[in-house]
Structure 1
Amino acid sequence: MAVLLARLCRGARGLRAARPTLAAALPPRALARTGPPRPLGFSVAELVRAAPVPVRPYLRLMRLHQPAGTWLLYLPCTWSIGLAAEPGCLPDWYMLSLFGAGAILMRGAGCTINDMWDQDYDKKVARTASRPLAAGDISTFQSFVFLGGQLSLALCVLLCLNYYSIVLGAASLSLVITYPLMKRVTYWPQLVLGLAFNWGALLGWSAIKGSCEWSVCLPLYLAGVMWTLVYDTIYAHQDKRDDILIGVKSTALQFNEDTKQWLSGFSAAMLLGLCMAGMNCNQTFPYYSAVVAVGAHLAHQIYTLDIDKPEDCWKKFTSNRTVGILLFVGIMLGNLWKRQDSEKEEEPLENRRSR
């Protein structure tokens, strides 16, 4: 028995010692697939990985495992809903929830349309070759049916709004459908994406007020378009080498080494638009403080950006969620501050009446 235990202990020590050797023997590609042990915890990516195998390609097709794009579509909606709130009031949480569901569905539909147009291109780009359509995990017909389901659900969300907003929301569908084609004909597809992605800056206000106040909505919308030109140009730098080979155009290729100067100009235009929108709806100190914080964040992004490192471009791209959240918080606090200002203006009148 003692001899048997000794052999078992030696075997266990041998297995522990063999682990590093086994890891070293694996090819780098295999290590990349397996990766380090994942910590326990919840994330959308973990939810997609835990989904049933037949469902997983559809969740990946709508990029549910990469929520950064959904945030960037949703946040301009929150800005508009927040600015439309009454002084002293928080944004309408029902509308925020409704637009959140709409953002998930429309971002998913946009990604599906994009992959249907681009599946032949995606096969030739290292970063996109594993997408479900490019990899052959689902067929074009299956993705078309899935697209119909997403658009049907998005229509149900849209029909919860007023008539003005229903028409306004339906008008954005042409941009959603045509955006993926723009990279074939112009070096400015990011501009078309900005026009589509920031439609919520118009729609959020109209959903609350019944129509658009253009002195507020238009500067806000243009600010969002400028923001998209910043973050999606950064995003496009990840694929610029492959894009040159396959003949796809982007602002990253258009600007090339002058990218930082262009991004600085877009950022300045964004901040100007935000200030104009704030002035036209009587925003207050917390709002403008948030605009300053947004400017500082964008300046840091641009200054530290390395356009030749895809991992840095991805990191800067995803950090734009913080930009949008900063502004939304500033809008909420600015609205609450409006209540304090109105109370101060009413106080002398009340004092006069008491006398």
Structure 2
Amino acid sequence: MSTAQVVPDSQHKGLVAALPQPFRDLAQLARFDRPIGWWLLFWPGAWAVLLAGGAGHWALIGWLLLGSVAMRGAGCVYNDLVDADLDRKVARTASRPVASGRVSKPLAWAWLIALSLVGLVVLLQLRWQAQVVALASLAPVAAYPFMKRITWWPQAWLGLVFSWAALVGWVEVRGFERLDVLVLLYAGSMAWVIGYDTIYALQDIEDDLLVGIRSSARALGGRVKQGVTGFYAAAITCWAAAFWFLRPDWVASAALLPAAGHLLWQVATLETAIEANALARFRANRFAGLLMALACWVVGNA
């Protein structure tokens, strides 16, 4: 892979790196070389299924994982189509397939449709109530790429859409029962997303300033660590309340301690001026998601 095609948050090895160039470009366009994105999209759905008492619903969890890979890919293709002009002005994104011209816009749209069809297959595995909830995400997802142009907090909108799988997973298992627990789980997931995506945005602060892109990292300025700490604390508080409402005992609440400790480690070791450090802390959230999933399993299936 040429240096021009390398961005810091890609993984330049394995199956994607071995593909012929045209297929590699499509894989990179869908961010298949960056699996952290679909893990982060997947985890809230898995949490909801497990917390709702669906530990035996492994097929459902598998479908949600496939849907996360496909729809995160489709979302990335759409985002790159909308942001092509901006991406060319930012060092980290200038080499993306559409921005660099390696993938034409018509081909990108065809790839978007193909990925969406995989999402449709997943959608058809759900009961109709969960299908309606899933389809309701399309409008906020479509609006997301424009948020960085109109608000300093596009990360809050990302929290809205990247937590949506929690709504789908819960409704699939429990319908519209115990919405108090679901609302708290979803709110906590939103706060978590804002926190980790603020860390991610640290990589682009200088370029964002030059081209006028807004972000929570820029909005917080020198208070990024305090801001991320606050969002992570809000996430843990919401999740603890959800656990307590569902199962009011301290043993259940203690299941959240490993995830809380991991988030505390992230902010304690975050170096906001070092891009590699920020990227590593961002990527570490795949493990935060796993620890939260284990906690949901304990509380929802004890």
- TM-score w.r.t. the length of structure 2 is 0.93
- Which runs of structure 2 are paired with 1:124-143 in the superposition (5 Å)? 124-143=89-108
Residue equivalent to 1:230: 195
User: Cα offset for 1:172?
Assistant: 0.4
**1:49 correspondence with 2:17:** yes
**1:277 correspondence with 2:269:** no
User: Cα offset for 1:216?
Assistant: 1.1
User: Cα offset for 1:276?
Assistant: 1.5
**1:163 correspondence with 2:128:** yes
State which drifts further: 184-193 or 323-332: 323-332
Q: Give the distance between the partners of 1:271 and 1:251, measured in 2 at CA.
A: 20
1:248–1:152 Cα change, 3 Å: same
Superposed CA RMSD in Å reads 2.0
User: Cα offset for 1:212?
Assistant: 5.1
Q: Give the distance between the partners of 1:304 and 1:324, measured in 2 at CA.
A: 18
Q: Give the distance between the partners of 2:280 and 2:248, measured in 1 at CA.
A: 32
**1:185 correspondence with 2:153:** no
Q: Secondary structure at the match of 1:55?
A: helix
User: Cα offset for 1:247?
Assistant: 0.5
- Structure 1 unaligned spans of 5+: 1-29, 35-42, 339-355
Residue equivalent to 1:17: none
Residue equivalent to 1:97: 62
Q: Give the distance between the partners of 1:287 and 1:298, measured in 2 at CA.
A: 19
1:116–1:171 Cα change, 3 Å: same
User: Cα offset for 1:210?
Assistant: 2.9
**1:307 correspondence with 2:272:** yes
Task: Encode CA deviations 1:228-282: one digit per residue, 9 max, x unaligned.
Answer: 0110000001000000000100000000101111112111111111011112222
User: Cα offset for 1:148?
Assistant: 1.2
**1:112 correspondence with 2:80:** no
1:123–1:280 Cα change, 3 Å: same
For the 8 Å contact 2:202–2:275, the answer to whether it is kept is yes
Q: Give the distance between the partners of 2:46 and 2:13, measured in 1 at CA.
A: 24
User: Cα offset for 1:288?
Assistant: 2.5
- Structure 2 unaligned spans of 5+: none
Aligned-pair identity in percent equals: 37
Q: Secondary structure at the match of 1:65?
A: coil
Residue equivalent to 1:39: none
Q: Give the distance between the partners of 2:235 and 2:42, measured in 1 at CA.
A: 17
User: Cα offset for 1:151?
Assistant: 1.3
Task: Encode CA deviations 1:2-37: one digit per residue, 9 max, x unaligned.
Answer: xxxxxxxxxxxxxxxxxxxxxxxxxxxx99999xxx
Q: Secondary structure at the match of 1:54?
A: helix
1:249–1:312 Cα change, 3 Å: same
| Equivalent of 2:44 in 44, 69, 76 | 76
Amino acid at match of 2:136: A
User: Cα offset for 1:211?
Assistant: 3.1
For the 8 Å contact 1:162–1:210, the answer to whether it is kept is no
For the 8 Å contact 1:165–1:211, the answer to whether it is kept is no
Residue equivalent to 1:66: 34
For the 8 Å contact 2:236–2:260, the answer to whether it is kept is yes
**1:214 correspondence with 2:182:** no
The structure 1 segments of at least 4 consecutive aligned residues displaced by more than 6 Å after TM superposition are 30-34
| Equivalent of 1:198 in 132, 146, 163 | 163
User: Cα offset for 1:127?
Assistant: 1.1
| Equivalent of 1:147 in 101, 112, 131 | 112
User: Cα offset for 1:286?
Assistant: 6.0
Q: Give the distance between the partners of 1:249 and 1:179, measured in 2 at CA.
A: 13
Point out which structure has higher relative CO (alpha carbons under 8 A, 6+ apart): 2
Q: Secondary structure at the match of 1:302?
A: helix
For the 8 Å contact 2:52–2:173, the answer to whether it is kept is yes
**1:329 correspondence with 2:294:** yes
Q: Give the distance between the partners of 2:113 and 2:130, measured in 1 at CA.
A: 21
Task: Encode CA deviations 1:64-110: one digit per residue, 9 max, x unaligned.
Answer: 01000110000011100001126xxx341000000001000110011
- TM-score w.r.t. the length of structure 1 is 0.79
